[in-house]
Amino acid sequence: MAINRIMVIGAGQMGGGIAQVAAQSGLEVVLNDLKPEFIHRGLAVIAKNLSRSVEKERIAVAEKEAILGRIVPSTDLADAAAVDFVVEAASENMEIKSGIFRALDKAARPGVILATNTSSLPITEVAAVTSRPGSVIGMHFMNPVPVMPLVEVIRGIATTDATFATVDALARAMGKTPVEVNDAPGFISNRVLLPMINEAIFCVYEGVATPEAVDQVMKLGMNHPMGPLTLADFIGLDTCLAIMEVLHEGFADSKYRPCPLLRKMVKAGWLGKKSGKGFFEYA
């Protein structure tokens, strides 16, 4: 099935980024969220990113308008009936995702692939609530989506080769580099990244060094573009904790235990950049 029109569910940081990249690559995008104001907020971020590209003379104003014109808002999951592909980027909560996938399975035409941008929930479990587990797959973009080249393409236990091949090709058409991964807790990205971040938090918890020092070591010594604690703030400390819990539970191995300081900061509402305070302060 040719993919010309896709639905992106969730107009937040990830969904908005996916919608932008898809529209930039020429796809028609139905951007779905619970409320019109969430979609307007997402569209405003996309417009701002595109304006920056206009200022930098990478695209013309007309192109910016054309890209925005390819994104139409939707607050009804039944609109999935009119698309060739769906990618879901809603909250990282299995109950919410299951509800969305049940509704999508009813609305979307037979054979339409339903992808999830989940950063750590099992693809196999999401697929199992649908009548088309062979057409369910993980399509995990990295943040910020317009900048990061990677897409992890995650095969659930039932994902067919045809589904994988279609999503692999779609990711390339969106200008990304897909990497094939089998369904396992944290996939590759978060299984490797989050324990490093958690260990950086242990360094602060145990008084080994300040957050500034930890980040400097990893930036200047390992050439990371952001230190692990700045990156944790950027991802969201609640998300970091949720991913560590998935790894801890999924592998039943104490090496993935979340640092108590991470738990304490999340309990305090210090969630990183989005709440104005995490390991660092944000205006």
**In 3-state terms, what secondary structure has residue 269?**
coil
**Residue 152 among the catalytic residues:** yes
163 near 137, Cβ under 8 Å? yes
The span from the CA of 90 to the CA of 100, in Å, is 9
Q: Are residues 137 and 159 in contact, defined by beta-carbon separation less than 8 angstroms?
A: yes
Ligand-binding site membership of 223 (annotated): no
Q: Which is nearer to ligand CAA, 133 or 146 (CB)?
A: 146
- Catalytic residue from among 49, 120, 135, 190: 190
Residue 59 or 82 having the CB closest to ligand CAA: 59
Query: What contacts 24+ positions apart, CB below 8 Å, involve 188-192?
Result: 188/152, 189/119, 189/140, 189/142, 189/150, 189/152, 190/119, 190/120, 190/243, 190/247, 191/247
DSSP collapsed to 3 states, 212-227: HHHHHHHHHHHCCCCC
CB of 90 to ligand CAA, least distance (A): 14
The minimum distance between CB 35 and ligand CAA, in angstroms, equals 22
> Contacts with ligand CAA in 190-209 (CB under 6 A)?
190, 193
Task: Say if residues 29 and 71 touch (Cβ distance below 8 Å).
Answer: yes
Over the window 218 to 257, marking each residue x when it contacts ligand CAA by CB under 6 A and - when it does not, the resulting string is: -------xx----x---x----------------------
Kindly state the number of chain residues that form the binding site for ligand CAA, as judged by CB under 6 A. Answer: 16
For ligand CAA, which is the closer residue by CB, 132 or 141?
A: 141
Q: Which of 49, 119, 120, 135 is catalytic?
A: 119
Q: State yes or no: 274 annotated in a binding site.
A: yes
* Alpha helix ranges (H) inside 78-178: 94-107, 123-128, 161-173
Residues 135-194 within binding reach of ligand CAA (CB under 6 A): 142-144, 146-148, 189-190, 193
User: Is 142 or 179 the residue whose CB approaches ligand CAA more closely?
Assistant: 142
Residue 57 binds ligand CAA (CB under 6 A): no
- Does 14 show up as a binding residue in the annotation? yes
84/233 with CB nearer ligand CAA: 233
Q: How many CB atoms lie within 10 A of CB 19?
A: 31
Helix (H) or strand (E) holding 180: strand 177-182
Q: Tell me: is residue 92 an annotated ligand-binding position.
A: yes
Cβ partners under 8 Å of residue 6, min gap 6:
22, 27, 28, 29, 30, 83, 84, 85, 86, 87
| Secondary structure element (H or E) that encloses residue 7, with its range | strand 5-9
Supply the minimum distance, in Å, between the C-beta of residue 187 and ligand CAA.
9
Closest residue (Cβ) to ligand CAA? 119
Active site residue 189: no
* 64 annotated ligand-binding residue: no
Of 28, 140, 189, 198, catalytic? 140
Residue 44 within binding range of ligand CAA, rule CB under 6 A: no
List 88's β-bridge partners, or say none.
9, 116
Active-site annotation, residues: 119, 140, 152, 190
Annotated binding site for NAD(+): 10-15, 33, 92, 97, 119, 143, 274
- Kindly list the residues in this chain that would bind ligand CAA in the complex (CB under 6 A): 49, 52, 119, 142-144, 146-148, 189-190, 193, 225-226, 231, 235
